[in-house]
């Protein structure tokens, strides 16, 4: 029979199946044993304590207000920004983000990691129950050499039959297993925070890729428009040269500018293709034509006039990476209790009950085989009782393991504080980028208007012979540069706003009330493994870590 860990034997109240005489367990002894076991079990359960620190939410320093909060574009209202992309008023962008939520492979992998963490939580809960419940049995045939000493009497050949059940239960006296559940519970919610963090990044990445595509389309449109303008300018210079009104220098200068602008088009087309490929991967699609999803070239999404940014303290609640850092610390805090429990004695209950019989020459005289006697009431045996184990001399290994776990907790607390600081920095950087880009676009638009007027004036004066072609060349070069800069800054405004929404922790809220995994993936997993109820849509089951800790395993 198998004994549990930390169990080193016990008194066996049984008959000896190898002897002719039979000794049944007295009924009074059985009743007495039951009373003792019941009393010991009650004492152990009621005396259970929990060692180790109870987790306290870490403290992090946050500013009271944003540095640029006085800007009219920023509002102090607190909004979750669950679907911030809808503020751009672009239906195509909304459709792309919805497609990415359903098809992105990185997000799907994060959802499966939640299932893994939930199963790990089930393992931790299972440790609260008897750790060993094992049925066993066997048939052993043995023949002894006749040339050995002391073989003149007894059976030289016999068969042993046995069947039984072993149970061992280490009682959670010091809360080691309960702390393990706390740690696994925090890890489970940490995996959900990981999923939310991936979702925040995914929505921002899709929006950025979409803005980049529209920016490239706009830059290509302007480049081709400037090619047409410069083509006409070259034709004017060529006509004037053939009429003797100017030299060939004007023609060559016109060609230089034209060819230089034409050369920018392949580079812009390559950038557009790469941006489309990047968007395809985010949508879970192989690189290919996304024309059906993107439609015809359209304008760069326009940012709203104002943004609700709330207060810096909102980041602690809204940002998934900050929540994840806190949950990692909570999980590690519980592991200190697990390690500390090893400093104290562990208490266990064990039992083994079964039937055992042997067949040999003495049995054949009675006309009964060992198998027939196996199910006789006299073949019953039972072993059981409480035990304890206490590692007294471990040369500091256990205490130093506690110190290791505590040092890891302190690291995670520092990491949490750092995560809060990084979150605030990202939000501040995105705000100033958004505000400064809006200021820059005003001047860029005025510069582009002036450049366009300069080109018109220069061409008119050149036709009339009032100026040379160098003036035309310079004004057209300036126009190309100013138009491209203006387009880039308009894209920067949209991307800065996207970065701001990401820094504020918006986007993960769209998973609420929606399945995290497609039904096809769930069906594949069901075909391989019995997942019980863990593939249900309400996977989270609870609202926060530590609330209503599970008390029964997931069978």
What pLDDT score was predicted for residue 107? Answer: 96
pLDDT tens by residue, 478-491: 999 999 999 999 99
Residues 6+ apart with CB under 8 A from 322: 315, 316, 416, 419, 420, 423, 505
End-to-end CA distance of the chain: 26
**Could you tell me the two tokens for 178?**
């309960």
Residue 36 gets the label, from left (phi > 0), alpha (psi -120 to 50) or beta, of: alpha
- Residue 199 pLDDT class (50, 70, 90 cuts): very high
Mean pLDDT of 120-133: 90
**Could you tell me the two tokens for 349?**
């209950």
- Residue 551 pLDDT class (50, 70, 90 cuts): low
What pLDDT score was predicted for residue 14? Answer: 35
Give the number of other Cβ atoms within 10 Å of residue 312's Cβ.
Answer: 19
18 has pLDDT over 70? no
**Could you tell me the two tokens for 398?**
């256990």
367 has pLDDT over 80? no
Distance between CA 406 and CA 417 in Å, rounded? 17
- Residue 153 pLDDT class (50, 70, 90 cuts): low
11 has pLDDT over 50? no
What pLDDT score was predicted for residue 135? Answer: 92
Higher pLDDT, 145 or 537: 145
384 has pLDDT over 90? no
Mean pLDDT of 535-553: 63
Give the number of other Cβ atoms within 10 Å of residue 329's Cβ.
Answer: 24
pTM for the structure as a whole:
0.84
- Residue 290 pLDDT class (50, 70, 90 cuts): confident
| C-alpha radius of gyration, the chain, whole number | 39
Q: For residue 321, with 0-12 CB atoms within 10 Å meaning exposed, 13-18 middle and 19 or more buried, which class applies?
A: buried
Q: Which of 114, 66, 58 is nearest to 423 (CA)?
A: 66
Return the half-sphere exposure (C-beta side, CA atoms, 13 A cut-off) of residue 3.
13
Q: How many residues does the chain have?
A: 555
344 has pLDDT over 70? yes
149 has pLDDT over 60? yes
Residues 6+ apart with CB under 8 A from 251: 234, 237, 238, 241
- Residue 443 pLDDT class (50, 70, 90 cuts): very high
Mean pLDDT of 80-84: 88
The winner for highest mean pLDDT among 54-63, 305-314, 407-416 is 407-416
**Could you tell me the two tokens for 64?**
């009271």
3-state secondary structure 427-442: HHHHHHHHHHHHHHHH
Tabulate helix, strand, coil % of the chain (nearest 5).
60, 10, 30
- Residue 466 pLDDT class (50, 70, 90 cuts): confident
**Contact status, residue 177 vs residue 551, Cβ threshold 8 Å:** no
Q: Which SS3 state, helix, strand or coil, does residue 350 take?
A: strand
The winner for highest mean pLDDT among 332-341, 369-378, 515-524, 543-552 is 332-341
Higher pLDDT, 416 or 17: 416
**Could you tell me the two tokens for 462?**
């050149």
Angstrom distances, CA of residue 163 to CA of 21, 337, 480, 536: 21, 39, 91, 40
Residues 6+ apart with CB under 8 A from 112: 517, 521
Distance between CA 388 and CA 529 in Å, rounded? 38
104 has pLDDT over 70? yes
91 has pLDDT over 90? yes
For the ranges 34-38, 51-55, 190-194, 248-252, which has the lowest average pLDDT? Answer: 34-38
What pLDDT score was predicted for residue 38? Answer: 55
**Could you tell me the two tokens for 532?**
């019980």
What is the four-CA torsion angle of 113, 117, 123, 126, rounded to 10 degrees? -140
Q: Which SS3 state, helix, strand or coil, does residue 199 take?
A: helix
- Residue 470 pLDDT class (50, 70, 90 cuts): confident
DSSP H/E element including 375: none
Question: Going from the N-terminus, what domains does the chain have, and what CATH number goes with each?
Answer: 71-131+174-343+399-528 (1.20.1600.10)
Sheet containing strand 12-14, strands side by side: 12-14, 380-389, 346-359, 157-170, 132-143
Return the half-sphere exposure (C-beta side, CA atoms, 13 A cut-off) of residue 385.
13
319 has pLDDT over 60? yes
Angle separating helix axes 176-242 and 248-282, nearest 10 degrees: 160
What percentage of residues in the chain have a pLDDT greater than 90? Answer: 56
């Amino acid at each position: 029979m198998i004994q549990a860990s930390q169990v080193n034997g016990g008194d066996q109240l049984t008959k000896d199946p190898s002897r002719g005489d039979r000794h049944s367990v007295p009924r009074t002894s059985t009743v007495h044993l039951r009373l003792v076991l019941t009393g010991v079990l009650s004492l152990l359960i009621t005396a259970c304590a929990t060692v180790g620190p109870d987790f306290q939410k870490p403290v992090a320093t946050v500013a009271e207000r944003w540095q640029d909060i006085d800007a009219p574009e920023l509002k102090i209202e607190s909004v979750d920004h669950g679907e911030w992309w809808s503020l751009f008023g672009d239906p195509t962008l909304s459709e792309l983000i919805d497609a990415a939520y359903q098809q992105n492979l990185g997000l799907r992998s994060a959802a499966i990691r939640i299932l893994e963490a939930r199963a790990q939580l089930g393992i931790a809960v299972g440790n609260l129950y008897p750790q060993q419940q094992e049925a066993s049995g066997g048939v052993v045939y043995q023949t002894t050499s006749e040339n050995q000493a002391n073989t003149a009497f007894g059976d030289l050949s016999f068969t042993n039959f046995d069947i039984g059940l072993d149970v061992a239960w280490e009682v959670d006296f010091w809360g080691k297993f309960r702390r393990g559940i706390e740690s696994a519970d925090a890890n489970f919610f940490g995996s959900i925070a990981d999923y939310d963090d991936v979702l925040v990044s995914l929505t921002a990445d899709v929006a950025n890729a979409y803005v980049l595509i529209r920016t490239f389309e706009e830059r290509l449109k302007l480049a081709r428009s400037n090619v047409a303008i410069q083509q006409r300018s070259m034709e004017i210079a060529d006509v004037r040269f053939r009429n003797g009104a100017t030299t060939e220098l004007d023609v060559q200068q016109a060609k230089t500018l034209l060819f230089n602008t034409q050369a920018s088009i392949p580079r812009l087309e390559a950038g557009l293709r790469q941006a489309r490929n990047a968007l395809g991967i985010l949508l879970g699609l192989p690189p290919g034509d996304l024309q059906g999803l993107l439609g015809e070239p359209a304008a760069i999404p326009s940012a709203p006039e104002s943004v609700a940014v709330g207060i810096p303290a909102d980041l602690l609640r809204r940002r998934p990476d900050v929540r994840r850092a806190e949950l990692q610390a909570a999980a590690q805090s519980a592991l200190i209790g697990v390690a500390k429990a090893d400093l104290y004695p562990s208490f266990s209950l064990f039992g083994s009950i079964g039937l055992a019989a042997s067949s040999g020459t003495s049995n054949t005289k009675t006309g009964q085989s060992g198998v027939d006697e196996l199910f006789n009431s006299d073949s019953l045996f039972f072993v059981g009782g409480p035990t304890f184990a206490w590692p007294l001399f471990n040369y500091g290994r256990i205490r130093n393991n506690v110190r290791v776990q505590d040092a890891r907790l302190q690291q995670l607390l520092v990491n949490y504080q750092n995560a809060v600081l990084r979150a605030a920095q990202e939000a501040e950087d995105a705000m100033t980028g958004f505000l400064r880009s809006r200021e820059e676009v005003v001047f860029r638009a005025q510069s582009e208007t002036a450049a366009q007027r300069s080109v018109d004036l220069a061409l008119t004066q050149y036709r009339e012979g009032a100026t040379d072609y160098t003036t035309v060349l310079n004004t057209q070069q300036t126009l190309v540069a100013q138009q491209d800069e203006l387009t880039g800054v308009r894209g920067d405004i949209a991307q800065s706003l996207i970065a701001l929404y990401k820094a504020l922790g918006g986007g993960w809220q769209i998973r609420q009330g929606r399945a995290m995994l497609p039904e096809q993936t769930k069906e594949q997993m069901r075909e391989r493994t019995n997942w019980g109820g863990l593939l249900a849509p309400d996977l989270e089951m609870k609202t926060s870590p530590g609330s209503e800790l599970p008390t029964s395993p997931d069978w």
